[in-house]
């Protein structure tokens, strides 16, 4: 399974799509980035693709109206996440606003979920 690495331009585009909320936490993930709220990932970057976790209703609306892509490795895409249309990545396309709107929808949806419980630390024997 090949893990594409995001370029600095991809990372900049991803950060620009995130809502300006102090609850947003960005973490590196396998050479890419993930955006979290309350410990739950609401958006991620896999190579050049931004993936979002949406409500079922919003996901169906996005997938039925746009050319979305699977999010994650082709052999095993991440369930529950939708990759935003790759055409939105093209410089000068003017769709940063559209990407930001869907990332914000994902943030609002995931912010309403129960916070993720921290993993218990393994005890040393």
The answer to whether residues 42 and 106 touch, using CB atoms and an 8 Å cutoff, is yes
| 20, pLDDT greater than 90 | yes
| pLDDT (tens digit per residue) in 65-102 | 999 999 988 888 899 999 999 888 775 555 678 899 99
Whose CA is closest to 82, among 98, 111, 60? 60
Confidence of residue 13 (pLDDT cuts 50, 70, 90): very high
The answer to whether residues 60 and 92 touch, using CB atoms and an 8 Å cutoff, is no
* β-strand pairing of 81-83 with 49-53: antiparallel
The domains of the chain, with CATH numbers, are 8-111 (3.30.1460)
Tell me the three state secondary structure of residue 69. Answer: strand
Q: Please, what is the angle between helix 96-111 and helix 56-65, to 10°?
A: 160
The overall pTM is greater than 0.85: yes
């Amino acid at each position: 399974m090949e893990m594409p690495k995001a370029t600095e331009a991809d990372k900049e585009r991803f950060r620009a799509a995130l809502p300006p909320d102090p609850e947003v936490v960005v973490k590196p993930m396998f050479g890419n980035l993930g955006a979290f709220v309350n410990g739950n990932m609401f958006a991620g970057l896999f190579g050049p693709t931004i993936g979002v976790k949406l409500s079922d209703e919003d996901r169906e609306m996005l997938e039925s109206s746009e050319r979305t892509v699977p999010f994650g490795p082709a052999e095993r895409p991440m369930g529950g996440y939708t990759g935003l249309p790759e055409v939105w990545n093209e410089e000068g396309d003017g769709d940063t606003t559209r990407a930001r709107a869907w990332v914000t929808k994902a943030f609002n949806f995931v912010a309403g979920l129960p916070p993720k419980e921290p993993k218990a630390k393994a005890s040393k024997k």
